[in-house]
Amino acid sequence: MPQTVAEYVLNRLHDIGVDAVFGVPGDFAFPVQDAIVHHPDIAWVGGIGELSALNAVAGAYAENLPVFHLTGMPATEVQSARSLVHHTLGNGEFDFFRKMADPVVCASAIMTPHNVAAETERLIEAALYHRRPVYMAFPSDLANQPVLDSAVALDQPASDPAKLEAAVDAVVAELSDATTACILPGVLVARLGLRDSLQRLVNASGLPFATMFADKSVLDEQQPAYVGMYNGTLMDDDGCTPGGSDSSRRTAS
């Protein structure tokens, strides 16, 4: 039996590590929810609806987290007729919710039997490359239709070896000529699962490290290499944050 549109998406998401979907039952989304419930390796967890979920999706966008936002849409016939139906704005603009989501996702698509394979791969690549949410909408009459296109699974994003080597050489050259140096790791270290690699770099180099506000706890701060927070132009000439208490004035110089 060929996979349905919903099954294809769920299987590919499971391939990259998704094992749970949070959502709320709704008739436009029932075909997708049924596919989730029947999937042997993905758990259904009761949650919130499309518009309420936008708060979480926007937060994931700000925090560089690849979240897959799946939502149901009215049937294509209903959309073509611009019918007045519930869970819409009643104005016949059935892509309006997608437009609301677009500013807080890095890619979006309406899934059909003819595009689901290609679009799924495109959205997975976008989510993992940009570390940002993506939006997948399923018209209710198409989610259970068999997949009619095909696509090769794309490799997960990785560094270009030549560019990586050139970057390393450039950093080493700068460090060789420097009299002082400090590591300033960012939150993407955590998002990409590179904490252990960064800690090994800190240990091997003997360099101190500091963090900015958004990067707190990227590494364990209870170690000698940690020299405090860096606030850029907010810091005064003594290397302290104006207005900070004595306990909060440990900042990087």
Sign of CA dihedral 162, 163, 168, 171: positive
Distance CA 131, CA 127 (A): 5
Is residue 168 within 8 A of residue 197, CB to CB? The reply is no
Confidence of residue 95 (pLDDT cuts 50, 70, 90): confident
**Where are the domains positioned within the chain?**
5-139, 161-248
The predicted model gives 119-124 an average pLDDT of 97
Does residue 240 have a pLDDT over 60? no
Does residue 186 have a pLDDT over 60? yes
Average pLDDT in the chain: 87
Residue 252: predicted pLDDT: 44
Distance CA 85, CA 28 (A): 11
Asked if the domains at 5-139 and 161-248 fall in one CATH topology, the answer is: yes
Assign a CATH topology to domain 161-248. Answer: Rossmann fold (3.40.50)
Distance CA 109, CA 121 (A): 11
Single-letter amino acid code for the residue at 230: Y
Does residue 176 have a pLDDT over 70? yes
Beta strands in 52-186 (DSSP E): 68-73, 107-110, 134-139
In CATH, what class is 5-139? alpha beta
The predicted model gives 136-144 an average pLDDT of 94
Distance CA 122, CA 252 (A): 41
Confidence of residue 235 (pLDDT cuts 50, 70, 90): low
Does residue 65 have a pLDDT over 50? yes
Confidence of residue 52 (pLDDT cuts 50, 70, 90): confident
